Amino acid sequence: MKHRIIVVMVITIIIVGCSSAAVTDTVPPLIKTGVDPDTWALVPAGEFLMGLHAHETLVDYDYKFMVTDVTNSQYADYLNQALAEGTIKITDTEITGYYPGDVFRGYDHEVEISPGEYPHIPLTDDGLRIAYDGDSFSALAGYENHPMVLVTWYGAKAYCDFFNWRLPTEIEWEKAARGTDGRPFPWGSELELNNANFYSSHDLIEKIMDGLNDTTPVGFFNGNTYEDYQTLDSPSPYGIYDMAGNVWQWTGDVYENQHYRYMRGGSKADYGYNLRVWTRNNAGPEYFGPSVGFRCVQD
């Protein structure tokens, strides 16, 4: 008898557990943050403390860094231009573009990347916030100023290259995120729930989306109050937003002996400790995900 009770308890818990998390079709309203995605911040030359162990590292040139991640609107506009100029191709399932390939050394686990066409974004994934009507691309309503996601490293690089910019190196990214005082988060030493969008941060979008995490508009954590949700102003020392949480950001380095490309910043789907500025993530350049975006730099 008691075994039956235990079995019933387990089944009940599983049913309750499963029912607590339903997929939602809710679309967030357009939330204007007041932060302009077309602005750039200057990061001056000089030394900074890099990595977990704070090694002094020199960047001996100034560079400009996008104040926010590239948004869905910006990427849709780019796709329309790139399509017109013929730098990308559309298939039934994806957008592709040419990449000249990497030097292959045959190292353990290294995958050869030869010159050829590579995927930029998938067109069939439910997570894509860009629509294609057979003629042009546009951002989905409500997601216009959210970061572009489901973009491969090739797709991110192609965007920056198209405008004669480039993806930041890891060093450039980390300096832009933490400045020169060795802080662990762009805004300082502590992570509060309303500093950034991360796993179970209970932000406004999470509430709107029935508890499921989703991207927040770029520059969302700027001290504004949205409805009754108060954010903390959380820029980096150079005034750059979303350098921790929301989406991982592709960086441009191509390292020897491996095909992986590195990402920085942590995302909406990660626990807070992943938002520390030195945390690295990586994936193959063809990887795309709902928690991965990018931004560009210019010299």
Partner 1 sequence: MKAITKRFQYFFQSTNGLALVAIALVSLITAVWGMLSGPMVEWGIKDVVVRVTGMTLLEAEREGRIIMLYHSIAMAVVALLVYFITDVVPMKKHEQTTINATITVGYLTAMIFGLWFAYFGHNFIFHGLFLVGQSLVFFSGILLAAALWPWRKKYHVTDPDYSHTSKGVDLERVAFFTMAVATLGSATFGAVTGSYWGNGHETFLAEDLIREPLKTALQLAIIGHLHIMLTLIGIATTLIIGKWLDFKRILHKIAMPLMILGTIVITLAVWAVVPYEPYAHIFIYVGAVPAMFAALLLVIYTWGKVPRERLKELGIEKANFWEWIKALFHDPLKFGATWQMVFMNFTVSGVGIFMAVTLEETMRVMPSREERITLTGHWHILASIIATIILFYFADKIGLKGKVRQWFGWLIIIFSDLAFAAVTIFSLKRLFISESAQQPLVNTTMLLADIGLATVLVVLAAFMLWRLIDLLKAKGHWASELTESEHKLAKAEAELQVQNLNKLAASLDLSETEKELLETLQSNLGQEVSQ
Instruction: Tell me if 70 sits within 8 A of 295, measured CB to CB.
Output: yes
Q: Is 274 in the site for partner 1 (CB under 8 A)?
A: yes
The angle formed by the CA atoms of residues 189, 269 and 34, to the nearest 5 degrees, is 65
Q: Is 14 in the site for partner 1 (CB under 8 A)?
A: yes
Near partner 1 in 166-225, by CB under 8 A:
182, 184-185, 189, 191, 199-200, 202, 211-213
Q: Is 143 in the site for partner 1 (CB under 8 A)?
A: no
Q: Is 10 in the site for partner 1 (CB under 8 A)?
A: yes
Q: Is 17 in the site for partner 1 (CB under 8 A)?
A: yes
Total interface residues for partner 1 by CB under 8 A: 56
Nearer to partner 1, 67 or 69 (CB): 69
Q: Is 148 in the site for partner 1 (CB under 8 A)?
A: no
Least separation in angstroms between CB 18 and partner 1:
5
Q: Which residues pair with 99 in a beta bridge?
A: 116
Q: What is the helix (H) or strand (E) element at residue 66, kind and residue range?
A: strand 63-66
Cβ neighbourhood burial of 158 (10 Å; 0-12, 13-18, 19+)? buried
Instruction: Among 40, 162, 226, 287, indicate the residue that binds partner 1 (CB under 8 A).
Output: 287
Near partner 1 in 29-88, by CB under 8 A:
52-54
Which 8-state DSSP code applies to residue 55?
E
Nearer to partner 1, 8 or 30 (CB): 8
Cβ neighbourhood burial of 90 (10 Å; 0-12, 13-18, 19+)? middle
Q: Which two tokens mark 152?
A: 């491969």
Q: Is 107 in the site for partner 1 (CB under 8 A)?
A: yes
Q: Is 3 in the site for partner 1 (CB under 8 A)?
A: yes
Q: Is 284 in the site for partner 1 (CB under 8 A)?
A: yes
- Biggest CA-to-CA distance, the chain: 75
Task: State the angle between helix axes of 72-85 and 153-162 in degrees (0 to 180), rounded to the nearest 10.
Answer: 70
Q: Is 164 in the site for partner 1 (CB under 8 A)?
A: no
Residue ranges in 108-226 assigned as alpha helix (H): 153-162, 170-178, 204-208
Q: Segment contacting partner 1 (CB under 8 A): 25-33, 72-80, 121-129, 221-229?
A: 121-129
Q: Segment contacting partner 1 (CB under 8 A): 155-163, 219-227, 238-246, 276-284?
A: 276-284
- Main-chain phi, psi angles of 290, to 5 degrees: -75, -5
CA dist 13 and 8 (Å) reads 9
CA dist 246 and 214 (Å) reads 8
Amino acid at 38: D
Q: Is 4 in the site for partner 1 (CB under 8 A)?
A: no
Instruction: Tell me if 149 sits within 8 A of 290, measured CB to CB.
Output: yes
Q: Is 253 in the site for partner 1 (CB under 8 A)?
A: no
Instruction: Among 2, 86, 92, 164, indicate the residue that binds partner 1 (CB under 8 A).
Output: 2
Least separation in angstroms between CB 164 and partner 1:
29
Using CA atoms, how far residue 27 sits from 4, 141, 142, 254, in Å, is 43, 8, 7, 37
**Residues at the interface with partner 1 (CB under 8 A):** 2-3, 6, 10, 13-14, 17-18, 20-23, 52-54, 107-111, 125-127, 150, 182, 184-185, 189, 191, 199-200, 202, 211-213, 248, 257-258, 260, 263, 270-274, 276, 280-284, 287, 289-292
